[in-house]
Structure 1
Amino acid sequence: MSTYPSKYLGIGLAAAVLGVALAPSAHAQEMGAPLSAIDWLERAMSAPLPQHSTAPPPPPPDDTLITLPAPGFEEIASAPLGRSELETTGLFTAERVGLPRALWGPTPTSEIVAAIVSLPADTMPAAARLSLRLLMAEFAPPLQNIPETRGALLLARVDKLVELGALEQAGQLIAAAPETSAALNARAFDIALLLGEEDRACAHMSGQIAAQHSHSAQIFCMARRGDWQSAFASLQVGRALGLLDENEAALLTRFLEEEEEEGQITPPAQITPLGWRIMEALGDPVTTASLPVAYAHADLRGTSGWRSQLDAAERLTRASVLEPNRLLGLYTQRRAAASGGLWERVRIIQHLERALQQRNGTAIGTALTEAWPLFAAVELEVAFAQMKGEALAKIPLSGAASEILWKMLLLSQENAALADELAPDTDLGRFIMALAKGAEVLPVSSASMAGAIHAAFSEPDVPQQVQDQLDAGALGLTLLGALSQIADGAAGDLHAATLGLQRLRALGLDPVARQIAIELLLLERRG
């Protein structure tokens, strides 16, 4: 069974204080999604799913669209794929990822869950997109899916999506499940709170949460309904019976009683989503920049300042869970308020926009050569390429600007023909274009990343242990291992890069392997 990342995403308890904050009071104002990290919710998160649920499944969303983190962010209509086992729940078929439906094969559920928990977040963009697709796709349940672990794989997938910041995708995965459970409801409640949908969360959880040690959630929903007397009484009961953590009880008490104390509040040593939300409501907010990426969604509610929205959008775009064009919209919302850092990216994007509108080739080339290192410094090259690659492809460029455009076209997978024309006449340029065109890669002499990549494409045989996994049908475990090795390769482990690419190719994912190889060469993430 997966371990829910409650230390920073146990949101159910956060509900309590947010509900208070949102109810009419001298301190309250309309605010967005709180989070939670409390014992009752953590126990609910990790509790096994019941064999049968008395609560009806939520109705499937009508004409719901999800956005996959793939180049171009194509919109894909999603709907539950028929009533099935919990573990088969997905938003699109396995074939859409280029993988067989029987991906998990004979691998025990516990091993798959452990591998998903260990799936790295810091990796190449193409590998991040593959990870997200893997977590969202429909696969047959593992052959060893015993009753004791029923539902554990779905929960692990949801938890990892939340950890990676893909809250909307995680919520849609829960909605697509063929039945509800306490654990799934708790996660859906948390996600709704993170996205600022408190009313819907309380309405959906009404009548379902009372028996799940959800004292703080009950307080939250009472306050959301304006029942302050019951919320206060419930808080007193919770304190008397030890149902609330000491720190959270103190924060809730101060907020509900509207106590006036001088000086700033000291945040807890390990701030929880609930603590973060109370601190914000009491006028001593803790910036989300220092918290896990899922918190960044709170700054996109429209209640935060422009700078906070920009920071959050950059984080989520870097995690491959936000469309680059949404970030572009924020970049061009108004004039830069200052200089340096983030504001330089705002300034140069706006300058590039103006140059493109005027079709001023000289100004475009100058802006592009200035913009590229600014976005590379914060690992947003792929997002920048997706924002501007298509428009720049229509402009004749030369020199350094032409080479940057070549990189952008490769990273965004746009206009392969033009990328071939712009490719530099160097060994590395020819090597990369061979990868892009699906051709045989030529050998290189140095023990560099290019050498590691050449080894992966010239020596397709995987280690015997991996081959044994493949022969046994444990394809999912092989894929998860490959994704971990790609992350190690991005950090500079050349041998891991070779092994990870070999595994992907052995699984029939040669196009993805080639794109990852291109990114390993062009993005220079290695430390």
Structure 2
Amino acid sequence: MTPHASIYAAFGLSVALFGGGAAHAQDSGAPLSAIDWLEQAMTAPLPQPTAPPQPAEPDTTIAVLPDPQFEEISTVPLGRTEQETTGLFTAERIGLPRALWGPTPPAEIIAALVSLPADTMPAAARLSLRLLMAEFAPPMQNIPETRGAVLLARVDKLVELGALQQAGQLIAAAPEQSAVLNARAFDIALLLGEEDSACAYMSGQIAASHSHSPQIFCTARRGNWQAAFGSLQASRSLGLLDDAEAALLTRFLEEEEREGQVTPPHQITPLGWRIMEALGDPVTTASLPVAYAHADLRGTAGWRSQLDAAERLTRAGVLQPNQLLGLYTQRRAAASGGLWERVRVVQRLDRAVQQGDVAAIGSALTEAWPLFAAVELEAAFAQMYADALADIPASGSAANILWKILLLSQERLDRAAELAPDTAQGRFIMALAEGAPLPQLSNPSMAGAVHAAFEDAALPAQVQELLDDGAVGLVLLGALEQVADGAAGDLHAATLGLQRLNALGLDAVARQIAIELLLLDRRG
């Protein structure tokens, strides 16, 4: 399965250029990554302002959030409320109780959020995003010392997953715009190419010990280079910047006086990345966490970079497949192999659909499917073409692919039933899709693991105890982690994860995940 890295966990403190001596650990339970190279998380908050800010008026901006069909969902923040209840839509909207966290201590919630996997089945990824964005009651043990820590963990996980717009909307919906949330908003705005907005978030936070680099950068962007240089010199003299950090800022401020390539920092952050770009030595986003891929969609990058970024973000489930389709069809392929073969076959399929050429559609479809399966974009491909292809006459391998497309996109179940192969596997999958009882299977494959999940409702005693105590959130997060393990080939984990989802009343989601476990191979 394709690795996804956390931007905050990978590259040090959120507003520092490097993960060096200027970073201070957070003692209040902020989330750290479970992966070793991600452990210096950008979750350490900036010191709070001495005078708490007044609660901001709720943002009423209409947001577009991902859902299983990628339809537009009109949402508004839910008014002035406790910091931890911040959300973009109600819990009930996704079939979960408002008191999701129950008596679970914030530290345990945060640890479970940090462990929430990025590589998983598409339906599980969509559920994860909704879980992170929804409004829930605060944990019962939400003591003042940990106030806002769960919200911060949710924001950081959204950024790790590449969902920058959603993370930004969640920050904007918070009843208080604290220094730590503004620091996250600063990074998000930089990655989206909105430097002026980024600097607005840091306004008035000059005294914060970790905001010297952003303030120097923003002072320079406002055209006051002399004041920026003076601030740099003072910060360096007071030991508020480490040597590498100060060296890059110095190069940024003295750009016209120096020549030669700049060595990229060992641990780059959004600000460090943006400065490198401003100096004319951009660092490719391909080797950076998926959140950086947004920078290549600004229109300043080449077509190849835009395509690479769009595929990464679509695979992560945070970019609508039709946006990727638009890039595929933007111009003629410039080379051959890999990405360019996907571009060519999409353009061939588009022409065939427009001309109504059934034979050409079947040929392009059978060529396209393995190319998209190789990069784990089958579900996105299904979203692109389900509606256009649903009623196309198909036979043989093309019919089997179209059947998979309709099931993965959750479109036209009636047509999928017509195309279903007359095999034990085909009948089993259609029973899942139709919500019917599952036929018995004799082999110990993934289908057997799925069958066990839906036929045996008994949960492990420890999980049942969590549910009885009201710790629904921990059970759900555990289920999502087990689904990811199941996708990687652990049949027992697949059974346990689906059982948990069923116990939580998420039968429809569990059935869609089960279909994906059977149709998509993520064991490589």
TM-score greater than 0.5 by the shorter chain: yes
Cα pair 1:6 1:37 within 8 Å, conserved: no
Looking at structure 2, the residues matched to 455 and 344 of structure 1 have their Cα atoms a distance apart, in angstroms, of 40
Structure 1 gap segments, 5+ residues each: 15-35
* Higher mean C-alpha deviation, range 373-382 or range 441-450: 441-450
Match of 1:12 among 7, 12, 15: 15
* Higher mean C-alpha deviation, range 262-271 or range 402-411: 262-271
RMSD: 2.1
Q: How does 1:294-443 map to 2 (within 5 A)?
A: 294-443=291-440
CA offsets, 1:240-291, max 9 Å, x none? Answer: 1211121121122223222766764433333333433333333333210101
* Higher mean C-alpha deviation, range 117-126 or range 77-86: 77-86
CA offsets, 1:73-94, max 9 Å, x none? Answer: 1212222212111111100000
| AA at the equivalent of 1:66 | V
Cα pair 2:102 2:140 within 8 Å, conserved: yes
Looking at structure 2, the residues matched to 440 and 155 of structure 1 have their Cα atoms a distance apart, in angstroms, of 42
Looking at structure 2, the residues matched to 418 and 4 of structure 1 have their Cα atoms a distance apart, in angstroms, of 42
Aligned twin of 2:225: 228
**SS of equivalent to 2:240:** coil
Whether 1:242 and 2:248 are equivalent positions in the alignment is: no
Aligned twin of 2:104: 107
| AA at the equivalent of 1:358 | Q
Looking at structure 2, the residues matched to 179 and 134 of structure 1 have their Cα atoms a distance apart, in angstroms, of 21
* Higher mean C-alpha deviation, range 155-164 or range 206-215: 206-215
Aligned twin of 1:219: 216
Cα pair 2:55 2:175 within 8 Å, conserved: yes
| AA at the equivalent of 1:131 | S
Looking at structure 2, the residues matched to 186 and 58 of structure 1 have their Cα atoms a distance apart, in angstroms, of 16
Looking at structure 1, the residues matched to 414 and 149 of structure 2 have their Cα atoms a distance apart, in angstroms, of 46
**SS of equivalent to 1:316:** helix
Cα pair 2:7 2:159 within 8 Å, conserved: no
Change (3 A) 1:205 1:47: closer
Cα pair 1:119 1:480 within 8 Å, conserved: yes
Whether 1:476 and 2:473 are equivalent positions in the alignment is: yes
Looking at structure 1, the residues matched to 105 and 298 of structure 2 have their Cα atoms a distance apart, in angstroms, of 41
CA offsets, 1:74-119, max 9 Å, x none? Answer: 2122222121111111000001110111111111111011000111
Cα pair 1:89 1:178 within 8 Å, conserved: yes
Structure 2 gap segments, 5+ residues each: 1-5, 27-42
Q: Of the two structures, which has the highest relative contact order with CA contacts closer than 8 Å and spacing of 6 or more?
A: 1
Give, in angstroms, the shift of residue 443 of structure 1.
1.6
Whether 1:199 and 2:196 are equivalent positions in the alignment is: yes
**SS of equivalent to 2:73:** strand
| AA at the equivalent of 2:145 | E
Change (3 A) 1:41 1:202: farther
Change (3 A) 1:261 1:193: closer
Q: How does 1:152-171 map to 2 (within 5 A)?
A: 152-171=149-168
Q: How does 1:15-94 map to 2 (within 5 A)?
A: 45-47=43-45, 54-68=52-66, 70-94=67-91
Give, in angstroms, the shift of residue 174 of structure 1.
0.7
Give, in angstroms, the shift of residue 12 of structure 1.
2.9
| AA at the equivalent of 2:10 | K
Aligned twin of 1:287: 284
Whether 1:146 and 2:149 are equivalent positions in the alignment is: no
Change (3 A) 1:320 1:38: farther
Looking at structure 1, the residues matched to 50 and 249 of structure 2 have their Cα atoms a distance apart, in angstroms, of 35
**SS of equivalent to 2:120:** coil
Cα pair 2:199 2:218 within 8 Å, conserved: yes
Looking at structure 1, the residues matched to 201 and 496 of structure 2 have their Cα atoms a distance apart, in angstroms, of 46
Looking at structure 2, the residues matched to 66 and 60 of structure 1 have their Cα atoms a distance apart, in angstroms, of 17
Aligned twin of 2:506: 509
Aligned twin of 1:521: 518
| AA at the equivalent of 1:129 | R
Looking at structure 2, the residues matched to 418 and 116 of structure 1 have their Cα atoms a distance apart, in angstroms, of 39
Give, in angstroms, the shift of residue 42 of structure 1.
6.4
CA offsets, 1:20-59, max 9 Å, x none? Answer: xxxxxxxxxxxxxxxx756657668424986996323444
Cα pair 2:212 2:240 within 8 Å, conserved: yes
* Higher mean C-alpha deviation, range 193-202 or range 168-177: 193-202
Give, in angstroms, the shift of residue 479 of structure 1.
0.4
Aligned twin of 1:25: none
Change (3 A) 1:213 1:145: same
**SS of equivalent to 1:75:** coil
Cα pair 2:406 2:413 within 8 Å, conserved: yes
Cα pair 1:6 1:38 within 8 Å, conserved: no
Aligned twin of 2:30: none
Match of 1:117 among 114, 118, 125: 114
Aligned twin of 2:40: none
Aligned twin of 2:455: 458
Give, in angstroms, the shift of residue 343 of structure 1.
0.6
Whether 1:494 and 2:491 are equivalent positions in the alignment is: yes
CA offsets, 1:292-349, max 9 Å, x none? Answer: 0011011111111111011001000000001111111111111111111001111111
Cα pair 1:12 1:37 within 8 Å, conserved: no
Cα pair 1:48 1:149 within 8 Å, conserved: no
**SS of equivalent to 1:436:** helix
CA offsets, 1:428-450, max 9 Å, x none? Answer: 00000000001111121111111
Cα pair 1:48 1:151 within 8 Å, conserved: no
**SS of equivalent to 1:208:** coil
Looking at structure 2, the residues matched to 273 and 226 of structure 1 have their Cα atoms a distance apart, in angstroms, of 21
Change (3 A) 1:161 1:9: farther
Q: How does 1:122-141 map to 2 (within 5 A)?
A: 122-141=119-138
Looking at structure 1, the residues matched to 271 and 218 of structure 2 have their Cα atoms a distance apart, in angstroms, of 14
CA offsets, 1:405-442, max 9 Å, x none? Answer: 00000000000110011000000000000000011111
**Percentage of pairs with the same residue:** 74
Change (3 A) 1:39 1:168: farther
TM-score (norm 2): 0.92
